[in-house]
Amino acid sequence: YTILSKVHSDRNVYPSAGVLFVHVLEREYFKGEFPPYPKPGEVSNDPITFNTNLMGYPDRPGWLRYIQRTPYSDGVLYGSPTVENVGKPTIIEITAYNRRTFETARHNLVINIMSAEDFPLPYQAEFFIRNMNVEEMLASEVLGDFLGAVKNVWQPERLNAINITSALDRGGRVPLPINDMKEGVYVMVGADVPFSSCLREVENPQNQLRCSQEMEPVITCDKKFRTQFHIDWCKISLVDNTKQVSTFQEVIRGEGILPDGGEYKPPSDTLKSRDYYSDFLITLAVPSAIALVLFLILAYIMCCRREGVEKRNMQTPDIQLVHHSAIQKSTKELRDMSKNREIAWPLSTLPVFNPVTGEIVPPLHTDSYDNTSMPLMQTQQ
């Protein structure tokens, strides 16, 4: 069901298209490529990381993934080869970095993808395992145990592991570092017989209702997985390729569909140089000249066309100027009088007789009286 190989220099491997391929990059092998540990007698445990890429390219092929949790763990290449790459050798450059000595070692892995006679398997099921990480599931013994449990439930003649995908690659979130929580992993398997009644139980209306209410569905064969694998039955996917109908439809051209314009013809490499001087004049020089003219006109109006006080008086009638001057003089006189209130009030502003008896009333204040606080008009007694 899987091809598991060790790391060797310029190793040739022969995976099958549509079958899970796993290749382990062992740190123990690459330790021999680096200098010994500085102190004799001590065990070397240098941190080693790997970089993998397709020869001549910066990254790996689209179907091939790589994972290494820490510099003290082995790296793993895994993926499901495609039919398009059958017969084409894929050379992967593996570069090991020693993080202690900063030295590198490079090896080549030649992947020769073979065609599978019974590929693709028509019945495919994808399981979501919640208590596993992808590197744990890629271990041969763990994957073998899972396929054994699936085979007991499904009872197929042929069963292959097609692909393994981390839940993080499907939009999952990184779990909290508590209670040893796992990321989760999707495992797709294929078989040559229809799905068993146990797998079909997830399609029951009762189980669909429980899944919609975020409740665990009732699956009779769950106990065969529960001892080691916690499967989320609400996320299981069953695909029957024998009932897949081609959905290709002829495109009817109409509104919203552009006509075929033929092949794209890029411009010639020998392009003539263009003079942007005229564009500069139109874009920058002309607006600047117009702004300068407007500034000069405004400056002439504001600075050179001022009338002044003398010209204003010459254009004003004499009688208006006399009235204005008289008002100013009267205002100035009133202000001066308000400043001289300490002078004795004139008798004409005081009552000289009693309006009831007719007797002469003496002044209400003497010369030594502080008349600055007296009101202008006295209250009649």
* Rounded Cα distance, 143 and 156, in Å: 17
Mind listing the domains of the chain with CATH numbers? 9-111 (2.60.40.10), 121-238 (3.30.70)
pTM for the model stands at 0.59
**Which of 58-62, 90-94, 240-244 bottoms out in mean pLDDT, i.e. has the lowest?**
240-244
Lookup: tokens for 72: 């003290």
Q: Are 149 and 7 in contact (CB under 8 A)?
A: no
pLDDT tens profile 263-281: 777 777 777 778 888 888 8
Longest dimension (CA), the chain: 147
Q: Taking the chain, what is the end-to-end CA distance rounded to the nearest angstrom? A: 129
pLDDT tens profile 194-252: 888 888 888 889 989 998 888 888 888 888 888 889 999 999 988 888 875 544 455 55
Residue 372 CA: distances (Å) to CA of 329, 334, 344, 352, 379: 25, 17, 9, 21, 16
Three-state secondary-structure class, residue 124: strand
Query: Binning pLDDT at 50, 70 and 90, where does residue 297 land?
Result: very high
Sheet strands side by side (includes 64-67): 3-5, 21-25, 75-79, 64-67
Query: Is the alpha carbon torsion for 109, 113, 114, 119 positive or negative?
Result: positive
